[in-house]
Structure 1
Amino acid sequence: MTRSLTAKFGLGQIVRHREESFRGLVVDVDGVYAGPASEPGPDYRDQPFYRVLAMGEDTGFLVYAAEAVLEPDPDIAPMNADDRARWFTIDEAGHHAPRAQPIH
């Protein structure tokens, strides 16, 4: 039986990491883990994963995180379409990448 998963967070939504101390912007969503060959633990394997553009003290960085470790950040509203177009390149599939880091 195939299980259908629905992503909890959408593109442009601001989230925060439950275990680390950063907030970030969701820029891409995978229905299940699609990262490097070393797979996540069994608790994380069958859930959506997100590419999150996180902000550090001096610069931004890209994080690949399981849905279970993220939570919505109600203090900050999602970006609107004009803001996304200003800060990101967006391909035909809807994948977002920071303008400084083109989509491959």
Structure 2
Amino acid sequence: MMKARTAKFQIGQIVRHRIHSFRGVIFDVDPEFNNTEEWWLSIAEEHRPRKDQPFYHLLAENSETEYVAYVSEQNLLPDDSGEPIRHSQVSEIFIKDKSGGYRPRNPLLN
């Protein structure tokens, strides 16, 4: 059994991927890996993340498209660009706050 760590990032925070060119807003956090073995094995071995860390669900975007991403903590960095997230589902889940970040529309869901 793995010991779960405390999440470094929080729901509503804008982050970017350390390696790949995308960013997003966190809408859910798993304290440790909670996806399929097939998904995990599909990642190139030299980039495959450890399972004993928080994983984040993001409303993600790159220069071409919007999507939902599942990303390990080790592969995320805070995004301090100040740019809003354009993902079409952001307004369904979040309200933009004065600091430029996002807060959940329904905090009881978190």
Q: Which residue of 2 aligns with 1:47?
A: 53
Name the SS for the 2:77 alignment partner.
strand
Q: Which has the higher helix share?
A: 2
Q: 1:2 to 1:22 in 2, by over 3 A?
A: closer
**When the two structures are superposed, what TM-score results if normalisation uses the length of structure 2?**
0.65
Could you list the runs of 5+ residues in structure 1 that have no partner in the other structure? Answer: 95-104
State how many pairs are aligned.
Answer: 87
Tell me which residue corresponds to 2:36: 36
SS at match of 2:57: strand
What TM-score does the superposition give when structure 1 sets the normalisation length? 0.68
Distance, in Å, in 2 between the alignment partners of 1:28 and 1:6 is: 14
Aligned residue runs from structure 1 range 64-75, under 5 A = 64-75=70-81
The question of whether the paired residues in 1 share the 8 Å contact of 2:16 and 2:23 is answered with yes
Cα 1:46–1:2 change in 2 (3 A) is closer
- Matched residue SS, 2:59: strand
Deviation >6 Å, runs of 4+: none
Provide the rounded CA distance (Å) in 2 between the counterparts of 1:66 and 1:27.
14
